[in-house]
Amino acid sequence: MKSRKNRGKIVLTALAVIALAAGYSFGVTPAEAADKFPAKPVTILNSSPAGSPADVMARQIAQNAKKHLSQPMVVVNKTGGSGGVMFASLMADPADGYTISTITSALITGLHGDLKKDFSIDQFEFLVHVQKEPFCIVVRSDSPFKTLNELIDHAKKNPRIKMGGQATYSALHLLALAVAEESGMPMSYVPYGGGSEIITNLLGGHIPVTVSSPTTMNQYVASGKVRALVVSGEKRLPQWKDVPTLKELGYNIVITQYRGFGAKKGLPADVRATLVEAIRKAMEEPGFKDYLAKNSQFAEFMGPAEFTAAVRADYEYMGKLLQKVVKK
C-alpha cells in the first residue's frame, strides 16, 4: 500500500516538474527578448586550449564579472583550424550577445592567410581590449651578444644567423623578418612548435637567438638563464627596465599582441553596452589585478570604438608587413 502511495507521489511530482519545465520553455522564452539582457549564461568561445594565456584571461574575466552581470559567463574552448573552428562556431550563433569570443592579434592576423576564404574582419565587432604585450628578442645569458647591435654586426660578418620562433607567418616570424630586413642581416628562421619548444632549444644551445613573448620568457630572465636584448612595443616593460625598444635602437618596427573580446557583427546597442560595462568592471576587481600581477601582465581597457580602430590598424599593418617581407 505504502509503496503505491509513494509511486503516486512520484508521478505527481514528475508531472509538476514537467509542467513547470514546459511552462518555462514555452512561456518564458518568447518573453526573454523583452527581458533585460542577459537572461541566460553568456558563452565565451576561446580558440586556444584551456590554460593558454587567452583562456586564463577569459576565465579571470568571467570569474570577476560575476558580481556585475546577472548571469554567469562560461568559457568554452573551440580549438583547431588556426581559429577557424572557433570562428565557424561564433558565426553559427545569432548576434544576440549570448555567444562572444576572445580575440587575439594572432587570430585576426590569421585572416590574411588561408582563413580568408571563409571569414573576413568585417564579420566581427570588437568589444573590449583587455591586455597588450610586446614581443622580445632573447639570447641565452652566456651568449656573447649583449645588445641587438652586437648581434646584427656579428650576423653581417658571419652569415647566416639562425633565429628561432613560432610558426611560419606568425607575428613572431614577421618580427624576425622585419628586423632582418631593416638591419640588412642575412637570417634563417627556424619555426618551432610553441613557447616550450623555443625555450628548450634556446636553453639547450640548439639555436643562438629566439623571438618570443615576455610571458614565456619572464621567469627565465628572472632566474638569470636568458637575456632579453630588445622588446617590440612602444615603451619599455616595467619588469625589464634596462631592455630597450626597437624604436629606441632606430628601427621603425612596433609589433604587439593584444587580447580582448569580440562578437559576431550586429549586437543590439544595449546588449553591447551591458557586456562592455561588465568586462570593464571585472578588470577593476582586485582578483583580476592580482592575476595580472602574478603573471606580469598589464591591462589596458579600451571600449568598442577604440578597440575596433586598434584591431583594424594592427590588421592593416600586419598585412602590409606580410606583403613586404613574405610575398617577394
Kindly list the residues in this chain that would bind other proteins in the complex (CB under 8 A).
49-53, 55-56, 59, 63, 75, 77-78, 80-82, 84-85, 88, 113-115, 118, 160, 162, 167-169, 188-193, 196-197, 199-201, 203-207, 218-220, 222-223, 225, 290-291, 294-295
- 84 or 134: CB nearest other proteins: 84
Burial class for 277, CB neighbours closer than 10 Å (0-12, 13-18, 19+)? middle
- 10 or 222: CB nearest other proteins: 222
- 178 or 199: CB nearest other proteins: 199
Contact 101, 86 (CB under 8 A): yes
Distance CA 114, CA 112 (A): 7
Alpha carbons within 13 A on the beta-carbon side of 160: 10
Q: Closest approach of Cβ 325 to other proteins, in Å?
A: 13
Distance CA 241, CA 231 (A): 11
DSSP state string for 267-320: --HHHHHHHHHHHHHHHHSHHHHHHHHHTT--EEEE-HHHHHHHHHHHHHHHHH
Q: Which residues contact residue 26 at a Cβ distance below 8 angstroms, ignoring those fewer than 6 apart?
A: none
Q: Closest approach of Cβ 98 to other proteins, in Å?
A: 18
Q: Closest approach of Cβ 51 to other proteins, in Å?
A: 1
- 82 or 183: CB nearest other proteins: 82
Q: Closest approach of Cβ 70 to other proteins, in Å?
A: 21
- 160 or 235: CB nearest other proteins: 160
Q: Closest approach of Cβ 180 to other proteins, in Å?
A: 14
